[in-house]
Amino acid sequence: MNEIKTLIMDEQAMERAVSRIAFEIIERNKGVEDLCILGIHTRGIVIAKRIAKKIKEIENKHIDVGIIDPTPFRDDLSGKDLPLRNFTEINFEIGDRKVILVDDVICTGRTIRAAIDAIMNLGRPKTIQLAVLIDRGHRELPIRPDFVGKNVPTSKNEKVKVLVEEFDQKNKVVIV
């Protein structure tokens, strides 16, 4: 990993952000009826599962969680060899449901656009709402998250890394 420039969130700050996002999702949707969560492969999945776990603690209701892989729908990979494996894994219907799309970091909006295309390829949800742990700006498309853990202004040459215990053996967000 590159040299850490700034610590954005420690483990407790990440937990608080996930809790706040969970409460906001419940409030905006007036409960959890017809709600499902799709995490964007890879770290978006971890954040999605944490949000679903928090919602279960609050509402005492199970929330379906799936994985969406936007890679085949990315406009910046056209003409390049795409990975042979598609990591999308959704074991429930998304048609006519409120889908909460979750990613760790939003920047240009291109990954989100591709993920929306991937979702629409699978069915027609009632709504798609976007939750991100970090919004770093630099949008190239008119995409805005509905739920944000933290806004972090960055320069284009900086990278925001979300480290999660499941992959990195620690929970924190840093600028490198």
In SS3 terms, 123-156 reads as CCCCEEEEEEEEECCCCCCCCCCCEEEEECCCCC
Q: In this predicted structure, what is the pLDDT of residue 70?
A: 95
In the numeric block, which tokens belong to residue 124? 């027609």
Q: Where are the domains of the chain?
A: 6-75+85-175
Q: In this predicted structure, what is the pLDDT of residue 3?
A: 84
CA distance 115 to 72: 9
Per-residue pLDDT averaged across 11-29, rounded? 98
**DSSP at 44:** H
For 95, phi then psi, to 5°, come to: -60, 135
The rounded mean pLDDT for the chain is 94
CA distance 130 to 157: 25
Q: In this predicted structure, what is the pLDDT of residue 76?
A: 72
Q: In this predicted structure, what is the pLDDT of residue 75?
A: 80
Percent of the chain with pLDDT over 70: 95
CA distance 126 to 35: 10
Assess whether pLDDT exceeds 80 at residue 54.
Answer: yes
pLDDT category, 171, cuts 50, 70, 90? Answer: very high
pTM of the model: 0.94
Assess whether pLDDT exceeds 60 at residue 1.
Answer: no
- For domain 6-75+85-175, is the CATH number 3.40.50.2020? yes
State the pairing for strand pair 160-163/172-175: antiparallel
pLDDT category, 77, cuts 50, 70, 90? Answer: low
Q: In this predicted structure, what is the pLDDT of residue 92?
A: 97
- Residue 135: beta bridge partners? 106, 151
| Amino acid occupying residue 46 | V
Q: In this predicted structure, what is the pLDDT of residue 7?
A: 96
